[in-house]
């Protein structure tokens, strides 16, 4: 399994969050694992949450909605895919329904490297305060666990 670290940067005084991780996979494998709903439920979110996907239509103009649950707690997320270039680029919106109107714009790129693929995600929040609130809510923990789970899934050969 990949032991590559996840780098998360949230520069002070900006509404930006950047995440970078290298995976021992091809861009095609990583793209498939990130866009196939049957695989997405296996890696997206912290380990202690159960995920249910209501909709996951990865195409320009397609939308998504999913739920994370822990006991009686429920967290719903939704968004729209704006640009989908397989194995290269995905641009989408992201909104936690617990903070309506705080829509984030996300850009994910897939860069082939000598040993695999580098995933780089840039998130732009509507304000510094909304980015800070997301970070303080545990988003960084969720990103780290998601990226580790994603690497584990790829190491098992998923996405081929």
Question: Per-residue pLDDT tens for 78-95?
Answer: 999 999 999 999 999 999
Give pTM, 2 decimals.
0.93
Domains (range + CATH), the chain: 11-155 (3.30.530.20)
Say yes or no to pLDDT of 96 above 80.
Answer: yes
Say yes or no to pLDDT of 158 above 90.
Answer: no
Q: Residue 33 burial by CB count (10 A; 0-12/13-18/19+): exposed, middle or buried?
A: buried
Say yes or no to pLDDT of 2 above 70.
Answer: no
Q: What DSSP element (H or E) covers 74?
A: strand 73-85
Strand order in the sheet with 89-96: 7-9, 16-23, 117-124, 104-112, 89-96, 73-85, 63-70, 50-56
């Amino acid at each position: 399994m990949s032991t590559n670290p996840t780098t998360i940067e949230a520069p002070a005084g900006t509404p930006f969050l950047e995440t970078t991780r290298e995976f021992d996979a091809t861009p095609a494998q990583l793209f498939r694992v990130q866009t196939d709903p049957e695989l997405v439920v296996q890696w997206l979110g912290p380990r202690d949450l159960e995920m249910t996907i209501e909709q996951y239509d990865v195409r320009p103009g397609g939308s998504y909605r999913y739920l994370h649950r822990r006991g009686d707690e429920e967290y719903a997320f939704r968004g729209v895919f704006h640009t989908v270039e397989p194995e290269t680029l995905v641009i989408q919106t992201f909104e936690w329904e617990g903070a309506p109107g705080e829509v984030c714009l996300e850009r994910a790129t897939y860069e082939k490297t000598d040993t695999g693929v580098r995933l780089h995600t840039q998130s732009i929040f509507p304000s510094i305060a909304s980015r800070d609130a997301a970070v303080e809510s545990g988003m960084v923990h969720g990103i780290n666990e998601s990226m580790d789970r994603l690497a584990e899934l790829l190491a098992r050969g998923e996405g081929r």
